[in-house]
Structure 1
Amino acid sequence: MIVLLPPSETKAAGGTAEPLSTASLGFPGLAVARSRALAALDRLVAAGQDVSTPAKARAAADNAAVRDAPTMPAIERYTGVLYDALGAASLDADARDWVDAHVVIQSALLGFVRASDRIPAYKVSEHTRLPGERMRELWSGAGDAIEGFALDLRSKAYAAVAPVAGAVPVEIVSPDGRALNHWNKAGKGALVRSLALAGVEAPSADALVAWAASADVPLTRAEGGLRLVVQDPRLVAAR
């Protein structure tokens, strides 16, 4: 079982591990695409980046230092609503091991990376124009690296950049069936936390739904995938 997550626009600063080594990242079949992406980022940096605000200046500095900056596990690098709700830092050892073994994050710069892969801070999204590259061409075949049952919690934009055949998407809705924005991300993070704490090993969507029913998690079958109902701002799906 693989859980696919989107990256976040915001990232933690710093790190304590050695600089980026693409050879040490998961999914070695993405090596050529990663090399192309990093070379394109070098060209973007050389051409000059927008530094008109403190946030943009920090982003430009991160991109300029991406090959030499210290790294940290991807699950700690990404921040924001989804990752706050997941709360990897507060998981016990067994749950953290589950995250490292099952969670895969889609990076616009590095393709799919495992939760434990050590990566630097950077500022590249699916909307970034990397000189000489197109995101959808760069990562169009990346989904071939994902094998087995994949629970797809990515945004539609990232799923379109790197389609994964057979991946099962999850729709996040309110109790009255309305689509959600902010709580969409929080609901996804809470669901992953629930899975990690329970140590779920589901070989299929049906098996996952069966676990959810036994654990009182509001995850059910829906047309084209699964549906998670977010009950309230405290996300009672989280355990």
Structure 2
Amino acid sequence: MLILLPPSEGKASSGDGPALDPASLSLPELTPARESVLAALEEVCARPVDEARTVLGLGPRQADAVQRNRELRTAATLRAADLYTGVLYDVLRLPELLAGPSAGRVEETVLVFSGLWGVLRPTDPVPPYRLSMGVSLPPLGPLGAFWRSQLTEALTKLAEGHLVVDCRSAAYAAAFRPGPDVAERTVTVRVLRQTVVDGVVRRSVVSHLAKAARGAVAHSLLASGAAPQSPGELVEVLADLGHRVELTAPARGGPHVLNVIVSD
């Protein structure tokens, strides 16, 4: 099984590990692409701060993010598991999982997508940074399209024979779109909020609850040691773990959709 995750906007501000070594990161075949994005980001951040903020889509109060990007090659690093601190990661609790007996399985199962690094495994050491997959980074262009050209072959090979549980947001889903062979073993996690209005059950796609729900699903799968081999088995496992889930048949050539039903 592979679990695909987005990063989080919330990140730790510092680490205590050695300086960045791009060649030490997982999937070393991505090193040239990572170096290209890193160099392009450094070039943008060498511009006046306001200009760099505009390119990166940052607000007036995020000048510190530009400075942080200027120091990527010399700043102290920390594990990806400790770097991301948003809602999904608060619920997922990767550091706790990596401290337990299933640490090796967690390392092999989780892939975190990143506008700067493409994908990371939980123990990959990187410095704090700010670069969204939705940015069009000169001269590379939209990062979703750039990384799709770099990741498709590597991740298609990595996913061979595995169930893929896709918890990514739309911006990060653009960086890898499974082909038909992988898509038939892929389940995209969608979160629906259920309410009852005047006795009528209504469901709607939510954003504020979705991150926590995806984190909970990923944590359950990793902490339980479950190893579902198919979308159907995934539904059974998650139901046994206390999640309310429903599987939707895929569109032609596309992945299955797993609806996770939540209530306020």
Q: Tell me the TM-score normalized by structure 2.
A: 0.81
Following superposition, the deviation at residue 22 of structure 1 comes to 1.4
Q: Sort the Cα spacing of 1:44 and 1:102 in 2 relative to 1 into closer, same or farther, 3 A.
A: same
Quick one: distance in 1 between partners of 2:240 and 2:228? 13
Quick one: distance in 1 between partners of 2:116 and 2:13? 17
Report the secondary structure of 1:226's partner residue: strand
Of 220, 233, 245, 1:219 maps to 245
Q: Which residue of 1 aligns with 2:253?
A: none
Q: Which residue of 1 aligns with 2:133?
A: 126
Q: Which residue of 1 aligns with 2:260?
A: 228
Q: Sort the Cα spacing of 1:204 and 1:143 in 2 relative to 1 into closer, same or farther, 3 A.
A: farther
The one-letter code matched in structure 2 to 1:222 is T
Following superposition, the deviation at residue 98 of structure 1 comes to 3.6
Q: Which residue of 2 aligns with 1:236?
A: none
Quick one: distance in 2 between partners of 1:100 and 1:55? 35
Q: Sort the Cα spacing of 1:83 and 1:55 in 2 relative to 1 into closer, same or farther, 3 A.
A: farther
* Deviation sequence 1:14-48 (CA, Å, 0-9, x none): 11211221111111221221111011012112223
* Deviation sequence 1:68-98 (CA, Å, 0-9, x none): 1111111210111111111223445135444
Following superposition, the deviation at residue 208 of structure 1 comes to 1.2
Give aligned-pair identity as a percent.
34
Q: How many residues align?
A: 232
Contact 2:144/2:172, CA 8 A, preserved across alignment? no
Indicate the larger mover: 185-194 or 210-219.
210-219
Indicate the larger mover: 162-171 or 181-190.
162-171
Q: Which residue of 2 aligns with 1:235?
A: none
Report the secondary structure of 2:29's partner residue: helix
Larger RCO, structure (CA 8 Å, separation 6 or more) = 1
Contact 1:144/1:164, CA 8 A, preserved across alignment? no
Alignment of 1:77-92 (within 5 A): 77-91=83-97
Q: Sort the Cα spacing of 1:230 and 1:95 in 2 relative to 1 into closer, same or farther, 3 A.
A: farther
Q: Sort the Cα spacing of 1:117 and 1:39 in 2 relative to 1 into closer, same or farther, 3 A.
A: same
Q: Sort the Cα spacing of 1:227 and 1:23 in 2 relative to 1 into closer, same or farther, 3 A.
A: same
Q: Which residue of 1 aligns with 2:210?
A: 184
Report the secondary structure of 2:190's partner residue: strand
Quick one: distance in 2 between partners of 1:173 and 1:229? 5
Quick one: distance in 1 between partners of 2:233 and 2:153? 23
* Deviation sequence 1:158-187 (CA, Å, 0-9, x none): 112332332321111123421111100110
Flag structure 2 segments of 5+ consecutive residues without an equivalent.
Answer: 195-201, 251-256
Flag structure 1 segments of 5+ consecutive residues without an equivalent.
Answer: 233-239
Following superposition, the deviation at residue 109 of structure 1 comes to 0.5
Indicate the larger mover: 95-104 or 133-142.
95-104
Report the secondary structure of 2:26's partner residue: coil
Quick one: distance in 2 between partners of 1:137 and 1:178? 29
Q: Which residue of 1 aligns with 2:77?
A: 71
Quick one: distance in 2 between partners of 1:94 and 1:19? 29
The one-letter code matched in structure 2 to 1:143 is T
Q: Does structure 1 residue 34 correspond to structure 2 residue 34?
A: yes
The one-letter code matched in structure 2 to 1:144 is E
Report the secondary structure of 1:170's partner residue: strand
* Deviation sequence 1:136-158 (CA, Å, 0-9, x none): 34212313322132111101121
Report the secondary structure of 2:111's partner residue: strand
Q: What CA RMSD, in Å, does the superposition of the two structures yield over aligned residues?
A: 2.1
Following superposition, the deviation at residue 129 of structure 1 comes to 3.2
Following superposition, the deviation at residue 215 of structure 1 comes to 2.5
Higher strand share: 2
Q: Which residue of 1 aligns with 2:115?
A: 108
Q: Which runs of 4+ in 1 moved over 3 A?
A: 51-55, 89-92, 95-98
Report the secondary structure of 1:105's partner residue: strand
